A and B are shown apart, each in its own frame.
Chain A
Amino acid sequence: MPEVKVRKKAMIVEEIFHEGGPVAATPQRRGAALVVIHNPYAGKYVEQIDGFMDDLKPLGMEMAHSLVRALGGDPKAIQGYGKGAIVGSAGELEHGALWHVPGGYAMREVLGDAKAIVSSTKKVGGPGTRLDLPITHINASYVRSHFDAMEVGINDAPRADEILLALVMTTGPRVHARVGGLKASEVKGEDGLR
Chain B
Amino acid sequence: MKATIRKIATFVEEINTEMGREVNPPARRAAAVAIIENPYAGQYVEDLSELMSIGEELGEMLTQRAIAALGIPGPSAESYGKAAAVGENGELEHAAAILHPKLGTPVRRVLGKGAALIPSSKKRGGLGVVLDIPLGHKDAAFVRSHFDGMEVRISDAPRSNEIMVAIAVTDSGRPLPRVGGLTKDQIKGEDGLR
Give a binary string over A63-94; 1 marks a CB under 8 Å from any B CB, 0 the rest: 00000001000000000000000000000000
In this assembly, does B72 line the interface, its C-beta being within 8 Å of a C-beta of chain A? no
Residue in A16, A70, A153 whose CB lies within 8 Å of B7:
A16
- Contact present for B8 and A10 (CB under 8 Å): no
CA distance A155 to B11 in the complex (A): 13
- Contact present for A8 and B15 (CB under 8 Å): yes
In this assembly, does A50 line the interface, its C-beta being within 8 Å of a C-beta of chain B? no
List chain B residues, Cβ under 8 A from A5: 17, 20
CA distance A96 to B45 in the complex (A): 51
The minimal Cβ–Cβ distance linking A63 to chain B, given in whole angstroms, is 12
In this assembly, does A7 line the interface, its C-beta being within 8 Å of a C-beta of chain B? yes
List chain A residues, Cβ under 8 A from B130: 155
List chain B residues, Cβ under 8 A from A154: 13
- Contact present for A6 and B7 (CB under 8 Å): no
In this assembly, does B105 line the interface, its C-beta being within 8 Å of a C-beta of chain A? no
- Contact present for B14 and A14 (CB under 8 Å): no
The minimal Cβ–Cβ distance linking B125 to chain A, given in whole angstroms, is 16
Total interface residues on A, CB under 8 Å, equals: 21
- Contact present for B9 and A15 (CB under 8 Å): yes
Total interface residues on B, CB under 8 Å, equals: 21
> How many pairs of residues, A versus B, come closer than 8 Å at their CB atoms?
55
- Contact present for B7 and A9 (CB under 8 Å): no
In this assembly, does B69 line the interface, its C-beta being within 8 Å of a C-beta of chain A? yes
Give a binary string over B28-70; 1 marks a CB under 8 Å from any A CB, 0 the rest: 0000000000000000000000000000000000000000010
- Contact present for A7 and B10 (CB under 8 Å): no
- Contact present for A153 and B153 (CB under 8 Å): yes
Q: A17-B5, A151-B155 are in contact. Are A6 and B10 (CB under 8 A)?
A: no
In this assembly, does A193 line the interface, its C-beta being within 8 Å of a C-beta of chain B? no
Q: A151-B155, A153-B153, A155-B151 are in contact. Are A15 and B7 (CB under 8 A)?
A: yes
Residue in A7, A19, A153 whose CB lies within 8 Å of B6:
A19
In this assembly, does B190 line the interface, its C-beta being within 8 Å of a C-beta of chain A? no
- Contact present for B6 and A16 (CB under 8 Å): yes
In this assembly, does B185 line the interface, its C-beta being within 8 Å of a C-beta of chain A? no
**Is the contact region of chain B dominated by helix, strand, or loop, or is it mixed?**
strand
Q: A17-B5, A17-B7, A18-B6 are in contact. Are A10 and B13 (CB under 8 A)?
A: yes
In this assembly, does A182 line the interface, its C-beta being within 8 Å of a C-beta of chain B? no
- Contact present for A12 and B10 (CB under 8 Å): yes
Residues of chain B from 7 to 27 with CB closer than 8 A to chain A in the complex = 7-18, 20
CA distance A12 to B9 in the complex (A): 7
CA distance A9 to B23 in the complex (A): 12
CA distance A130 to B151 in the complex (A): 13
**In the complex, what residue of chain B is closest to A13 when comparing beta carbons?**
B10
The minimal Cβ–Cβ distance linking B37 to chain A, given in whole angstroms, is 10
CA distance A130 to B155 in the complex (A): 10
In this assembly, does A111 line the interface, its C-beta being within 8 Å of a C-beta of chain B? no
Q: A8-B17, A9-B12 are in contact. List 4 more A-B contacts (CB 8 A).
A: A12-B11, A17-B7, A154-B13, A155-B151
14 contacts between A and B (CB under 8 A): A5-B17, A6-B17, A9-B12, A9-B14, A9-B16, A10-B11, A10-B13, A11-B12, A11-B69, A12-B11, A12-B12, A17-B5, A17-B7, A155-B130
Q: Which residues of B line the A interface, CB within 8 A?
A: 5-18, 20, 69, 130, 151, 153-155
* Closest 5 pairs between A and B when the two form their complex, measured CB to CB: A151-B155, A11-B12, A9-B14, A14-B9, A155-B151
